[in-house]
Amino acid sequence: MSGVKRDWSGKLKRDGPKPAHPAPARNAFTPMFERLRDELDEHHDRRERIVKLSRDITALSKKIIFSLQRVRKIEPQLPKNIQDEVDARLAEIAKLLAALAPEIQGLNRYRYSRSLMCLEELVEALTFAHYLKTQTLIRYEDLCATVEDLTRQGIAAVATSSEDQVMTDAADGPKQADATKPDPPATVSLTQDDYLYGIFDLTGEMMRFATTTLALTGVLAGSESSTSGDEPRTILQDMHDLGSFFEMLPVGGGSRFQWEKKLEVTRQSVQKVERLGYDWIIRGSEKPKGWVPDLSALDQGPPEEDE
């Protein structure tokens, strides 16, 4: 609260906006403006709800990414404790997506796309998890399907929990089920831009992961050399692939400025991993087992307690 406001004669002024103007007098245009106001309010309220959901989804996605950065090795199964953390966050995200879905159908998908930065963050988390398990980049359709599945799980979870809480009388129960059946529930759709910008960010996570794993295990992350027949592939080759992938693509959606900025960050990440690969080859063989390199010059995650 700020100080007390007084008018020129020292009398206390009442709170509230513009006390000098009482409700403007009605005129021929008032009804029209009132109609437009209601429409605009609907839009503003929806955007507010979307922004809130988006913020929560972003925060949870970031937590997933932090958990994933504690992985030390690319392998088909994430360590159980990390998988549990990821699953728990995803379950929360699913519920938020379920709430978000009806707000961004049809016309409204692109109307609010600027308030939906959370989808990029979610793409980053999901593609990173996929990479750590399979060492491949998940395809666009597959990721769309994943997000739609998540939304459906969220809708189901919200439905069951509300059934638990509210004791619906017998007459209401089946009617609701009928009402939802003909229309498949709305899901969240990813745009190609969400996907591409999410992958830009993925390269940063991969760089961090490569740095940490090399520092702590002394091995550049990659496929096990025991994989029969094929040549093993390291994260450095994957980074090179991603780098060329973006260099070869025409400038995508969004603004050119934004695209170039992301591309530049990706280039830097690729080069950081290149340096790691070099260090690993040149010094890796000399280094006594258990020796930990000096990490001060490398970009690395927050200090971690290792098992």
CA distance 258 to 38: 35
Instruction: Kindly tell me which residue out of 88, 91, 137, 158 binds another protein, with binding defined by CB under 8 A.
Output: 137
Instruction: Kindly tell me which residue out of 5, 6, 19, 34 binds another protein, with binding defined by CB under 8 A.
Output: 34
Instruction: Kindly tell me which residue out of 4, 12, 32, 166 binds another protein, with binding defined by CB under 8 A.
Output: 32
Instruction: Kindly tell me which residue out of 83, 153, 237, 258 binds another protein, with binding defined by CB under 8 A.
Output: 237
- Going residue by residue from 54 to 73, which x/- string records binding to another protein, judged by CB under 8 A? --------------------
Instruction: Kindly tell me which residue out of 217, 249, 260, 264 binds another protein, with binding defined by CB under 8 A.
Output: 249
Contacts with another protein: how many residues (CB under 8 A)? Answer: 46
Q: Using the rule CB under 8 A, is 88 a contact of another protein? A: no
In the bound state with another protein, the residue whose beta carbon lies nearer, of 90 and 187, is 187
Instruction: Kindly tell me which residue out of 162, 192, 268, 271 binds another protein, with binding defined by CB under 8 A.
Output: 192
Token digits of residue 271: 């080069």
What is the closest distance, in whole angstroms, from the C-beta atom of residue 72 to another protein in the complex? 20
- The residues in 207-236 that bind another protein, with binding defined as CB under 8 A, are 223, 227, 230, 233
Q: Using the rule CB under 8 A, is 39 a contact of another protein? A: yes
In the bound state with another protein, the residue whose beta carbon lies nearer, of 55 and 109, is 109
CA distance 234 to 249: 23
CA 208, distance to chain mean position in Å, is: 17
Q: Using the rule CB under 8 A, is 263 a contact of another protein? A: no
What is the closest distance, in whole angstroms, from the C-beta atom of residue 245 to another protein in the complex? 6
Secondary structure string (H, E, C) spanning the chain: CCCCCECCCCCECCCCCCCCCCCCCCCCCHHHHHHHHHHHHHHHHHHHHHHHHHHHHHHHHHHHHHHHCCCCCCCCCCCHHHHHHHHHHHHHHHHHHHHHHHHHCCHHHHHCHHHCCHHHHHHHHHHHHHHHHHCCCCCHHHHHHHHHHHHHHHHHHHHHHHHHHCCCCCCHHHHHHHHHCCCCCCCCCCCHHHHHHHHHHHHHHHHHHHHHHHHHHCCCCECCCCCCCCCCCEHHHHHHHHHHHHHHCCCCCCCHHHHHHHHHHHHHHHHHHHHHHHHHHHHHCCCCCCCCCCCCCCCCCCCCCCC
Q: Using the rule CB under 8 A, is 136 a contact of another protein? A: yes
Which of these ranges, 56-64, 145-153, 248-256, 289-297, lies near another protein under the rule CB under 8 A?
Answer: 248-256
What is the closest distance, in whole angstroms, from the C-beta atom of residue 40 to another protein in the complex? 6
Q: Using the rule CB under 8 A, is 251 a contact of another protein? A: yes
Residues binding another protein (CB under 8 A): 21, 24-25, 27-30, 32-34, 36-37, 39-41, 44, 106-111, 113, 134-137, 139-140, 192, 196, 223, 227, 230, 233, 237-238, 241-242, 245, 248-253
